[in-house]
């Protein structure tokens, strides 16, 4: 098919449940279909159930089933794929996919954009000299960078040495029509905590080390053991699946919290699950700009988050929620106790958070920023394609 729309190939390590991947879903679903075509290439696997979140029928998914080891062995395969499909843009995300800008460059892809969404458990503060040097080594093959937070933007310019004019900060956006305040806590089918007399704290996210759900469980144990009112009324819901599910279940039992914590598992109905919470908690060791945090704020929930990564850019301390040190169960328990004891303050946080998201973190603003990056870079490298873009946009 001779489709005149430029193709964007999004290269990720895996396409499965996660904040980075959810951002891609939001971007593609919200972007005007007449502007770009899209393909998603996972170095490992595109999970069919998650792929169903893409609402467009013209998006192609490719799973490369990468095994352990350096990705350089995949260069010939990626080179052939890029030569066959002739994308106008290859958009890689995070360090695990960064090296794929090399076969994209070799295949003649005119625009190679790399997004930095945050660090993982192996380099929580972005201090690894090895990772800084790796990013610097691949920098000549990257046309432009997208940083999801001010901290990541500074990291790229100050630590990696990327020129400031090559970096654009674009925060995640949230669908404020899909995530809305429930008014009062909703009953969730299957939840053991539907009693309106309870106060339900909750976290939504993949059960992996960097999210540090173990810290939240230990903090909740401190809360209920040290506070008779909390023991009666406070409950904790963990929404998400992942490799630590069995270990966290064992920790809940060891902390004596059976009956106080519900592991709801992986869910696709996150707006509904948010409506079943009273307070949202994000205990991460590292974050970029958290989709789940934005979604909770859009849902009108007061939030407690660790003071890491982009969280302070989202949460206004004492206005939309509380910030606590990471890996500090006592501080997290104190924050939960404070909101349990002051429901009026918690409600005010939720209202202010919703207003902040609507004003500053809309999904349309995010999509508009990505469109600007794509089209500006394409015009700069392919004048003919840029003129075609301008003409097509004038028709719509």
User: Which residue segments constitute the domains of the chain, with CATH numbers given?
Assistant: 7-173+362-395 (3.40.50.2000), 199-360 (3.40.50.2000)
383 pLDDT above the threshold of 80: no
Average pLDDT over residues 51-75: 93
**Predicted confidence band of residue 2 (pLDDT cuts 50, 70, 90):** confident
Which pLDDT score, from 0 to 100, does residue 126 have? 83
**Predicted confidence band of residue 225 (pLDDT cuts 50, 70, 90):** very high
**Predicted confidence band of residue 1 (pLDDT cuts 50, 70, 90):** low
Which pLDDT score, from 0 to 100, does residue 118 have? 81
392 pLDDT above the threshold of 60: no
pLDDT, tens digit, 9 for 90 and up, residues 91-135? 999 999 999 999 999 999 999 999 998 876 678 778 899 999 999
217 pLDDT above the threshold of 80: yes
Which pLDDT score, from 0 to 100, does residue 386 have? 46
Average pLDDT over residues 170-195: 94
252 pLDDT above the threshold of 80: yes
Alpha-carbon distance 30 to 367, whole Å? Answer: 7
Which pLDDT score, from 0 to 100, does residue 219 have? 98
Average pLDDT over residues 309-333: 96
Which pLDDT score, from 0 to 100, does residue 146 have? 98
């Amino acid at each position: 098919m001779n489709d005149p729309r430029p193709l964007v190939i999004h290269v990720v390590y895996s396409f499965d449940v996660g904040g980075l991947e959810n951002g891609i879903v939001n971007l593609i679903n919200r972007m005007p279909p007449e502007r770009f075509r899209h393909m998603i290439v996972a170095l490992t696997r595109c999970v069919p159930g998650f792929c169903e979140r893409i609402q467009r029928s013209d998006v192609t998914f490719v799973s490369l089933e990468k095994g352990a080891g350096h990705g350089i062995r995949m260069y010939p395969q990626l080179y052939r794929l890029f030569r066959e499909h002739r994308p106008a843009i290859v958009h890689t995300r995070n360090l695990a996919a960064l090296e794929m800008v090399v076969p994209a460059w070799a295949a003649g892809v005119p625009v190679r954009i790399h997004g930095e969404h945050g660090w993982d458990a192996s380099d929580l503060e972005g201090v690894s000299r090895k990772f800084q040097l790796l990013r610097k080594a691949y920098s000549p093959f990257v046309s432009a960078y997208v940083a999801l937070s001010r901290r990541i933007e500074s990291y790229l310019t100050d630590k990696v040495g990327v020129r400031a004019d090559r970096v654009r900060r674009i925060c995640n956006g949230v669908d404020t029509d899909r995530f809305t305040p429930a008014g009062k806590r909703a009953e969730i089918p299957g939840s053991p905590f539907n009693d309106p007399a309870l106060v339900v704290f909750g976290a939504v996210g993949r059960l992996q080390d960097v999210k540090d759900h173990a810290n939240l469980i230990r903090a909740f144990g401190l809360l209920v053991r040290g506070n008779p009112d909390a023991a009666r009324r406070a409950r904790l819901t963990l929404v998400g699946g992942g490799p630590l599910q069995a270990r966290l279940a064992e920790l809940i039992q060891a902390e004596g919290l059976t009956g106080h914590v519900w592991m709801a598992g992986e869910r696709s109905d996150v707006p509904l699950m948010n409506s079943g919470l009273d307070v949202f908690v994000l205990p991460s060791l590292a974050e970029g700009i958290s989709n789940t945090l934005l979604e909770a704020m859009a849902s009108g929930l007061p939030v407690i988050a660790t003071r890491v990564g982009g969280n302070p850019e989202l949460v206004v301390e004492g206005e939309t929620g509380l910030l606590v040190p990471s890996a500090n169960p006592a501080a997290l328990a104190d924050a939960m106790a404070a909101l349990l004891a002051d429901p009026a303050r918690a409600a005010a946080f939720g209202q202010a958070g919703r207003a902040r998201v609507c004003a500053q973190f809309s999904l349309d603003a995010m999509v508009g920023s990505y469109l600007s990056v794509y089209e500006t870079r394409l015009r700069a490298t392919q004048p003919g394609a840029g003129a075609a873009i301008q003409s097509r946009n004038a028709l719509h």
